[in-house]
Amino acid sequence: MYFAALLARTEDGWEASDTELDDVETLSDLADLAREASPEEDTVLVLIEQEDSWFGVVRVDGEEDPRIYVSDAAAAARSAYGELLLTDELLGREPGADDGPDLDSLDLDGTEDGESEGEEGEEGSDADAVPHSPVGDRLILGDLGIGERQLRALDADDALGAIAEALGASEVLETVR
């Protein structure tokens, strides 16, 4: 089960709204959705969580590029919403790189050229694997009172509530849960 909400910072504090991500196909779409929540170009946080598995924070400040933090990249990679956040840049990959094997370099016996059958799965798959660790901007909420250590220490089952509480927005977030 997923939960997604927008927290928009205003002169009067934080305003929350739940959001439907079914029509969001790219990170750019998500950033545009966040920008629509704050016509004054204030900070908007997109908070996404998959029950007890992972959470993500996307921060949009006006027209700047979105900043992203994902608590567990491997868990997020197994979900449609997580895949929106896990860009090649965030994962340290060459943009547009193909993650699969080069089919032209495979021998008829199923191994790559120059690779013995005993080495199968040792090298290439680990390099392309998505880590079971946080990825992204660990200082995404630093100026809002949540440092890197606090962010990394959050459990996926209550992370969004803890973030909202630290921001002074727990009541407004609960209204959209």
Strands (E), 73-161: 135-136
Tokens of residue 93, six digits:
């990959």
Q: Give dist(CA 6, CA 107) in Å, integer.
A: 50
Tokens of residue 160, six digits:
């969004």
The phi, psi pair for 124, rounded to 5°, reads -65, -40
3-state secondary structure string, 32-76? HHHHHCCCCCCEEEEEEEECCCEEEEEEEECCCCCEEEECCHHHH
Q: Which residues pair with 163 in a beta bridge?
A: none
Q: By the 8 A CB rule, do 49 and 2 touch?
A: yes
Q: By the 8 A CB rule, do 169 and 157 touch?
A: no
List CB contacts of 157: < 8 A, sequence separation 6 or more: 51, 52
Q: By the 8 A CB rule, do 45 and 15 touch?
A: no
Q: What is the pLDDT of residue 177?
A: 84
Q: What is the pLDDT of residue 38?
A: 85
Comparing 99 with 54, the larger pLDDT belongs to 54
Q: Does the pLDDT of residue 122 top 50, yes or no?
A: no
Q: What is the DSSP letter of 87?
A: -
- For 48-76, what is the mean pLDDT? 95
Q: What is the pLDDT of residue 114?
A: 47
Q: What is the pLDDT of residue 98?
A: 53
Confidence category of residue 156, pLDDT binned at 50, 70, 90: confident
Confidence category of residue 138, pLDDT binned at 50, 70, 90: very high
Tokens of residue 102, six digits:
């080069």
pLDDT digits (tens, 9 = 90+) for 93-115: 877 655 544 444 444 444 444 44
Mean pLDDT for all residues in the chain: 84
Which of 7-11, 131-135, 138-142 reaches the highest mean pLDDT? 138-142
pLDDT digits (tens, 9 = 90+) for 14-38: 999 988 888 899 999 999 999 998 8
Percent of the chain having pLDDT more than 90?
58
Q: Give dist(CA 132, CA 101) in Å, integer.
A: 22
